[in-house]
Structure 1
Amino acid sequence: MNYKKVVFGTLASILSSSVYAEEVSLKMAHFAAESHPAHQAALQFAENVEERTGGDVTVELYPANELGAPPEQLEQTVLGVVDMNLPTQGGLDKYVKAFGTVMTPFAFGSYEEAHSILDGPFYEWVAPQLEEEGLVMLSNWEYGFRHITNSAKPIESPADVEGLKLRTPPELQIVAALEALGASTTQIAFPELPNALNQGVVDGQENPISVIYHYNLDEFQDHLALTHHVYNSMVHVINKDTWNSLSEEQQGIVREESMAASTMMRNAVMDQEQKDIAALKERGMQVTEPDLSSFTELMEPARERVAEYVGEENMKTFLSFLD
C-alpha cells in the first residue's frame, strides 16, 4: 500500500471538506412580486452578503410565493427546509402570539412611530420568544399601512363601509377592524383575489398601497380609501439551526445587511407611496382621504377581539410601548 498516497489523499479530502463547509447557500422565500420593494431589498441583501463574504455565503431568492403560500413558506423555514423568510406579523403570531399586537387597528399614527417601537422595545420583547420556536429575528422590513378598495362607492365615512363585502387575509386583526366598521368579510387566497374581484364575488379588499399598485388591483376596483386601518411589516427571519451553522463573522454580515435592506425597503415604500397613489389616480381610481377619527371611535370591539386573541397581558405590554 502506498501510505504517502493514502495520507495525502486523506489530507486533501479533509481540506476540501473544510473549504466546502465554509461555503453556504441559503434559500430565502417571500410572497412579494418581483417589482415590489421587498424583492428589491432582498436582491440588495443577497448581493451584499455574497460580496462581503467573498462568495462563502450566497442567497437564492424565491419571490412571489414560488415555494408555496406564506404560511407554508414560514412552516418550511421553521422546519429548516427554507433557510430564510419574510413573513408579516400576521404569520408569526401563529407561533408567538405577541406578534399579533402590532396589527391592532389604528395602533400607530405614522411610519416613524411604528419603526421606533418595532426596532426598540418590541424587538427586545419578542425576539427571545421567537428563538424558542426555532427562528432568529434579524430585522423588521416594511409592508405598510393598509387601505380599502372597492368597486361599489367612494368611502368618506364608516357608514360607507357598512354592508360592503370585503376580502381579507386570514388575520383576525384585519377582520375585526373591517367588521367593526360594518363590512362583511371573507377570506380568499391572494392568488385568487383578482379573479374574485373581476367576477364580483366580493366588492373589495384591503392591502398596502404598494400591493394595490404592483398587482394592478385598480383593473378591478374603482375606489381607494386611505384608511390606514392596520399597519404591519415583513419580518426577516432565519432558521435557528441555519443561523448557528454560520460563523460569528458571517452572522454579523447577515444581520448588518438585513438591517441595511430594511432601511432600503422602508425608504422605498415611504418614498413611493405618494407616487403610486398618483399613478393609481391616473389609471382611473377615485381616491378619498376620510377623517379617521370617526373610524377609530368604532374600534373598541375590534381591539377587544385582538386582545382576546393575543392575550390580555400581551396587549397590556404592547400598549405600554405606545404610551
Structure 2
Amino acid sequence: MLKKVLGLLGTASLVAAMATPASAVELKLAHYAPIDHTASKAAEMMAAAVAKRTNNAVTIKLFPANQLGDGNEVLEQQMKGAIDITLPTQPMLDKYGPAGDKPFGVVMLPFVYKGYEHAWKVLDGPFTKWVAPRFDQIGLVHLANWEWGFRNLTNSKRPIMKPDDVKGLKIRTPGEIQLQAAMEAAGGIVTKIAFPELPMALKQGVVDGQENPLSVISSLKLWETQAHLALTYHSYNSMVAVASKQAMAKLTADQQKIVKEEAQKAGQWFRDENLKAEKGMIALLKEKGMKVTEPDLAAFKAKMQPAYDSIAAYSGKANVDAFLKMVAETK
C-alpha cells in the first residue's frame, strides 16, 4: 500500500503531507524592508522558528520589500483582514488614532534618548503598557518591538556640522510629521516622498538629501548619490511586530505564545545585530566615499522647540508630557 501511495504522490509530497497538519494555519507577514536588510532576516528567523516549534501547524509566508504595498498600505490591508502580521513603525500606527490624541506619535520626539538601550527600555517597559489599550482599540495584538534605529542626515551638497548648514537644503522625509517638523526646525526645506521612490528622487536631484537609519542608508547604497553623512541621531523609532486579532484568533493559546516569543527573539536579534553593525556601516560608507561628520547635537537640540510644539499639536500635549516623564524616569 505504501509503495502504491509513493508511486502516486512521490516521496517528497508524502513527507510534506505527513509533516503538515490538516488544520495548519498560514499567516501572511508583509513589510517594507529590503530583502537584504536585517529586518527581513529577522522575519525569516521568526517564520522558521514558528514553523519548527509548531511542527508546521503554523507557518508564516513572507512578503518583504513592499511586495504587497508600502508600510502604510499593508497596515491598512491588515486592518481589513487581508494580511495577518505587519511591521509598522509607531508613526504608521498613530494614523489610526483620533486627531490630537495619537500616543504612538511621541516616540520620535527628536533628541530625547541617551542611546539605543535607553530607547529599548522605554519602549519595552512603560510605553508598551501605556499604549496597550490603543492596540486593542484598532484591532491589533502587540507581539514585539523590533528595530529601525536612530536616523541620520545625508545630502549631496555640503558637510553638516551645525543647524545653519542645513538651511536651504531640500530634504526628503516620509509622511510622518515628527520627521518633517525636526528637519524644518533645523532649517531644511522638506519634501515628502514615498520610500520606494527615494533612490530615484535622489538620483534625479528632486531633493538634495534625506534622513534614515544607517542600515537603510547602507542597504540602499545611498553613497551613489549622497556625498555627505551627518551623524545627527536626531530621532529614533522602531518597527513594531503586530498581528491582527482575527489572525491570533485562529491559533491556540500555545501557538499564540510561540508566535509572540519568536517575534520577541527575532526582534532582539535584530536590535543586537543592528547595534553591532553600525560601526561597520560607518566604515563602509566612508570607504564608499561618503564624508562623515559628527555635528554639534546640542546646537540642533536647541532648535527643536518648534518641532516639539508641532508634535504636541498632533499627538496631544498630555501624551508628549506623559512620554517625556517615562523617558526621564527610565534609567
TM-score (norm 1): 0.93
Aligned equivalent of 1:203: 208
Matched, 1:259 2:259: no
SS state at 2:147 partner: coil
Matched, 1:187 2:189: no
Aligned equivalent of 1:84: 85
> Pairwise mapping of residues 163-242 of structure 1 onto structure 2 (< 5 A)?
163-242=168-247
CA distance, structure 2, for counterparts of residue 269 and residue 284 of structure 1 = 22
> Pairwise mapping of residues 118-197 of structure 1 onto structure 2 (< 5 A)?
118-197=123-202
The range that moved more, 120-129 or 46-55, is: 120-129
User: Unaligned 5+ residue runs, structure 1?
Assistant: 1-18
SS state at 1:200 partner: coil
CA distance, structure 2, for counterparts of residue 236 and residue 135 of structure 1 = 10
Aligned equivalent of 2:38: 37
**Alpha-carbon offset, residue 245 of structure 1:** 1.9
**Alpha-carbon offset, residue 20 of structure 1:** 6.2
- 2:275 partner amino acid: M
Retained in 1: the 8 A contact 2:163–2:186?
yes
Aligned equivalent of 1:302: 307
Aligned equivalent of 2:48: 47
CA distance, structure 2, for counterparts of residue 32 and residue 113 of structure 1 = 24
CA distance, structure 2, for counterparts of residue 322 and residue 205 of structure 1 = 27
SS state at 2:144 partner: strand
- 2:300 partner amino acid: F
Retained in 1: the 8 A contact 2:21–2:56?
no
SS state at 2:262 partner: helix
> How big is each residue's C-alpha offset from its partner over 1:142-176, in whole Å with a ceiling of 9 and x where there is no partner?
00000000000000111101111100000000000
- 2:30 partner amino acid: A
User: Unaligned 5+ residue runs, structure 2?
Assistant: 1-19
The range that moved more, 192-201 or 23-32, is: 192-201
CA distance, structure 2, for counterparts of residue 132 and residue 20 of structure 1 = 33
Pick one of 116, 120, 140 that aligns with 1:115: 120
Aligned equivalent of 2:110: 105
CA distance, structure 2, for counterparts of residue 21 and residue 136 of structure 1 = 26
> How big is each residue's C-alpha offset from its partner over 1:270-316, in whole Å with a ceiling of 9 and x where there is no partner?
01111011001000000001120000001111001001100111112
**Alpha-carbon offset, residue 199 of structure 1:** 1.4
- 2:115 partner amino acid: S
SS state at 1:22 partner: coil
> How big is each residue's C-alpha offset from its partner over 1:14-70, in whole Å with a ceiling of 9 and x where there is no partner?
xxxxx9673100000010011111011001000000000011000000000000111
TM-score (norm 2): 0.90
- 2:279 partner amino acid: Q
The range that moved more, 89-98 or 280-289, is: 89-98
CA distance, structure 2, for counterparts of residue 54 and residue 236 of structure 1 = 22
Taking only aligned residues, the RMSD between alpha carbons, in angstroms, comes to: 1.1
Aligned equivalent of 1:283: 288
CA distance, structure 2, for counterparts of residue 277 and residue 307 of structure 1 = 33
CA distance, structure 2, for counterparts of residue 309 and residue 86 of structure 1 = 23
- 1:295 partner amino acid: F
Aligned equivalent of 2:65: 64
Aligned equivalent of 1:15: none
Structure 1 stretches of 4+ with a deviation exceeding 2 A read 19-22
Matched, 1:27 2:32: no
CA distance, structure 2, for counterparts of residue 210 and residue 84 of structure 1 = 22
Aligned equivalent of 2:16: none
Aligned equivalent of 2:277: 272
Retained in 2: the 8 A contact 1:95–1:130?
no
